Amino acid sequence: MGTRERRRREVAGREQLFLGAARDLIRQEGLLNLQMSRVAEMCDYAVGTLYQHFVSKEDLLVALASEEAQERVDMFQRVAQWKASTRDRMLGFAVADMLYARRSPEHFRLLQFAFTEVVWTAAPAARRQACIEANAPLRQATLELIDEAVGNGDLDLRGLRPDEFCLAPWALAIGMHSIVHTKGLLEQHGISEPYHLMLRHISELLNGLGWKPLADSTDHAALDALAERICKEVLHAYIC
């Protein structure tokens, strides 16, 4: 009988429950104050039960980071299906990142923490793998776009492999997220709209990488209009 199967589903559902509670607690009181016992309590389960799902706090954190990846993946896939030039879609990924970061700043703080040696190393290997895989579609979408751009002549990789190429925008985005989410750094630089700048800089990077059609770096209005258009046409469902 399917009893065993039903049970499995119940248990899987509980995993979501725990992750949701953890997310809420983090939202309310910050990553710093997250306590395993509070997570269990909030779900009306004993701590021991929580530990059947996650062998350690680190395990839970990485699992949470994996689960939250899905929404960003959805946004990327939406952009990937957009009918527009390869270059505009590449910018679209950046816009997606920007919107997502505004919607869920906590997610980036969590990612930043989860990828830290201390946490990452302490999480079980299987969970780490799952986290990498949960984020893999972002990479996949980017690689496919790069292939398409190469195929139709928008882009010449100049001897790089697609993976090597996409490291550039990827690093720029990750770095920007790190900077934005470290309290006190931007204030010092007097920067108020970091993600707006990120778009500009990614556009300039794409110019430097020779992704056609090259954009006129002077024409700020055009870039803003493009970003606006991406928000309206493609990512309207995700605007905060």
Which one, 66 or 142, has the nearer CB to DNA? 66
Are the CB atoms for 53 and 124 separated by under 8 Å? no
Torsion of CA 19, 25, 27, 29, to 10 degrees: -150
Q: Which is nearer to DNA, 36 or 205 (CB)?
A: 36
**How many Å apart are CA 180 and CA 104, to the nearest integer?**
13
One of 7, 24, 37, 208 touching its own copies (CB under 8 A): 208
**163 touching its own copies, by CB under 8 A:** yes
For the purposes of burial, counting CB atoms within 10 Å of the CB of 164, is it exposed (0-12), middle (13-18) or buried (19 or more)?
exposed
Figure out which of the listed residues 217, 225, 228, 233 binds its own copies, where binding follows CB under 8 A.
217
Does 118 interact with DNA (rule: CB under 7 A)? no
The piece of 52-60, 64-72, 74-82, 178-186 that touches DNA (CB under 7 A) is 52-60
Contact between residue 184 and residue 190 where contact means Cβ atoms under 8 Å apart? no
Among 9, 29, 37, 175, the residue binding DNA under the rule CB under 7 A is 37
The most distant pair of C-alpha atoms in the chain lies apart, rounded to whole Å, by 68
Q: Report how many residues bind its own copies under the rule CB under 8 A.
A: 60
Q: Long-range CB contacts (< 8 A, 24+ apart) of 197-200?
A: 198/94, 198/97, 198/98, 198/172, 198/173, 199/91, 199/94, 199/95, 199/98, 199/223, 199/227
Binding mask 168-207 for its own copies (x = CB under 8 A): x-xxxxxxx-xx-xxxxx--xxxx--x--xx-xx-xxxxx
Q: Which C-beta is closer to DNA: that of 48 or that of 159?
A: 48
178 near DNA, judged by CB under 7 A: no
Alpha-helical runs (H) found in 82-193? 86-103, 105-114, 117-122, 125-151, 162-180, 185-189
Judged by the rule CB under 7 A, the positions of this chain that interact with DNA are: 1, 3-4, 7, 11, 14, 34-37, 44-49, 51-52, 55-58
Q: What is the binding site for its own copies (CB under 8 A)?
A: 30-32, 109, 112-113, 115-118, 120-122, 128-129, 132, 136, 139, 158-161, 163-164, 167-168, 170-176, 178-179, 181-185, 188-191, 194, 197-198, 200-201, 203-210, 217-218, 220
